[in-house]
């Protein structure tokens, strides 16, 4: 795949339109919309497919995985209520698009990917286009205990259940956003850690993610 890092008027215009489309679909957090407006999603596509980059579609990124569609990225980002400086664990780096959105929102991001091919590419591309995160290769279904606790945890692949080990890595007041269901479809779930042993769970809309594989997942 040949990446090219040029932002032409056509891509700028398409990005603006994408933000308008997301507003129409119900994304209302201005900070999230601004972040989507800043991250150059076409940088994660081969130039041949740039016309696809600002459509609200998932797209193959190699290793049998996808870049999530922009609505899903915006939806999960909104649920996280990121504050500047929040320590965020992202499980499923993929190509790093969601990582960039989190960074634009002011988060300090720890991101983990299990596919070495994607990890190798993303650790090169993100710093090259100006985004700094802490990258890890491995099974994120167990979280990353060494750097816990986190203000927020986002899982970008579909899990069969909420891994309890992730809840233990949240700060009190912290939020976990995770799609939970079977391999065909998942409900977006947010869990807020309200005290040491109490968690509030909210079940939201239906999505379709690639599976979260690993010790605490499929
Ligand atoms: N966040 C990406 C984006 O910005 O579009 C999309 C990620 S893709 C939908 C889900 C990713 O989760 C895939 O790259 C997949 O390899 C990864 N994944 C699945 N199970 C994982 C696990 N246990 N640990 C880390 N990554 C995992």
Ligand 1 center to residue 113 CA distance, Å? 6
**Of the candidate ranges 17-21, 64-68, 99-103, the one whose mean pLDDT is the lowest:** 64-68
Q: Which residues line ligand 1 (CB under 6 A)?
A: 65-68, 91-92, 94-95, 97-98, 112-115, 118, 139-141, 156-157, 209-210, 212-214, 217
Ligand 1 center to residue 94 CA distance, Å? 5
pLDDT in tens, 48-63: 999 999 999 999 999 9
Ligand 1 atom 11: residue of nearest CA = 92
Identify whether 144 is part of a domain: yes
Among residues of the chain, what percentage have pLDDT more than 90? Answer: 98
Residue-level pLDDT at 3: 78
Identify whether 107 is part of a domain: yes
Identify whether 72 is part of a domain: yes
**Across the chain, what does the average pLDDT equal?**
97
Contact residues for 171 (Cβ-Cβ < 8 A; gap 6+): 149, 150, 151, 193
pLDDT higher than threshold 90 for residue 187: yes
- pLDDT (average), residues 165-193: 98
Identify whether 218 is part of a domain: no
Residue-level pLDDT at 2: 66
Choose which residue among 55, 77, 113 to substitute to test ligand 1 binding: the one with the highest number of ligand atoms within 8 A of its C-beta. Answer: 113
Residue-level pLDDT at 1: 59
Identify whether 216 is part of a domain: no
**Of the candidate ranges 19-33, 52-66, 127-141, 171-185, the one whose mean pLDDT is the lowest:** 52-66
Is 141 among the residues known to form the active site? no
Phi and psi of 176, rounded to 5°? -110, 130
Q: Give the CATH number, domain containing residue 157.
A: 3.40.50.150
Residue-level pLDDT at 45: 94
**Of the candidate ranges 56-70, 158-172, 184-198, the one whose mean pLDDT is the lowest:** 56-70
pLDDT in tens, 29-54: 999 999 999 999 999 999 999 999 99
The parent domain of residue 81 ranges over 9-207
Question: pTM value?
Answer: 0.98
pLDDT in tens, 190-214: 999 999 999 999 999 999 999 999 9
The whole-angstrom separation of Cα 78 and Cα 75 is 5
Identify whether 212 is part of a domain: no
First vs last Cα of the chain: how many Å apart?
A: 29
How many domains does the chain divide into?
1
- pLDDT (average), residues 17-30: 98
CA distances from 136 to 110, 115, 124, 176 (A): 8, 11, 13, 19
Identify whether 20 is part of a domain: yes
Ligand 1 center to residue 96 CA distance, Å? 9
Is the peptide bond preceding residue 93 cis, with omega within 30 degrees of 0? Answer: no
Identify whether 129 is part of a domain: yes
């Amino acid at each position: 795949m040949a990446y090219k890092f040029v932002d032409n008027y056509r891509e700028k215009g398409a990005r603006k339109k994408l933000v308008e489309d997301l507003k129409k679909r119900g994304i209302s957090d201005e900070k999230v919309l601004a972040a989507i407006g800043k991250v150059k999603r076409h940088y994660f596509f081969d130039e041949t497919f740039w016309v696809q980059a600002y459509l609200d579609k998932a797209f193959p990124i190699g290793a049998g995985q996808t870049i999530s569609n922009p609505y899903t990225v915006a939806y999960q980002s909104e649920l996280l209520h990121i504050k500047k400086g929040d320590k965020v664990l992202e499980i499923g780096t993929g190509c790093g698009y969601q990582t960039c959105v989190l960074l634009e929102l002011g988060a300090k991001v720890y991101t983990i990917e299990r596919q070495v091919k994607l990890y190798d590419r993303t650790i090169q591309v993100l710093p090259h286009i100006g985004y700094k995160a802490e990258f890890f290769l491995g099974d994120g279904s167990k979280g990353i205990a060494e750097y816990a606790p986190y203000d927020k945890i986002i899982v970008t692949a579909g899990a069969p259940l909420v891994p309890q080990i992730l809840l233990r890595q949240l700060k009190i007041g912290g939020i976990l956003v995770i799609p939970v269901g079977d391999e065909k479809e998942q409900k977006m779930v947010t869990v807020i850690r309200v005290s040491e042993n109490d968690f509030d769970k909210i079940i939201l809309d239906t999505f379709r993610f690639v599976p979260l594989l690993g010790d605490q997942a499929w």
